[in-house]
Structure 1
């Protein structure tokens, strides 16, 4: 999946949020969090803002998760600002909340790695190599999972 596909998801996630607000749903936190995740690829400050809003509207059961998403996005933003962009992306890719959600979303992670390497090409060789290695691991796992799915079908 390319970064552009996540950009295309933003209007849909914005519409989902608008519908959730219009319907006065009990929980808006998930809609804000999903929008924050999509914005991670295009507008990190706005992603942090949406994560803050997710936390603000979180129910008691959602607070822990919303705090985790906000923490990861805020840390990413701060580490990029302090000159550690690739280390920051490695951290969020190995985090528990924003990009992982307990699911093997390989294409999303690969797209984020590609974006980080493109945006910061001359930054931190060790972290660059770690991201390239992680990308290869994700591609291998995605291929293995697709082969396993073919066998089970």
Structure 2
């Protein structure tokens, strides 16, 4: 199997112009929303229905919500609201992906030309990076990941 080009992006700490320009410059064909809750009022231009509309209008980019790649409410609450430890969050989310067997339920081809979307501005403490690393480990490194 050849390399699969996959990007990731967060929408916080950026404006709509910067966000959409990064997607366009990267040649993204599909945005895979990996947020558990994608309709928050705090999401601004990244609310699910609005985002799907903008992506399609701006460059014909497909929008897919994939909660299978999102942490549970319990994992999120412990980390965000209770100021949890990143290592505990990471361990719990990696276990969740293993339990869900995401590497068997999805295919590398589904990610080709795609971009994983989450709210975090950078991938360092974001589950979108963990998804990429987990799948790359399970799929023999076939994902070529670029964080936008």
Larger Cα Rg: Structure 1 or Structure 2? Answer: 1
What TM-score, normalized to structure 2? Answer: 0.31
Structure showing the higher helix proportion among its residues? 1
What TM-score, normalized to structure 1? Answer: 0.31
Higher RCO, 1 or 2 (CA under 8 Å, sep at least 6)? 2
Structure showing the higher strand proportion among its residues? 2
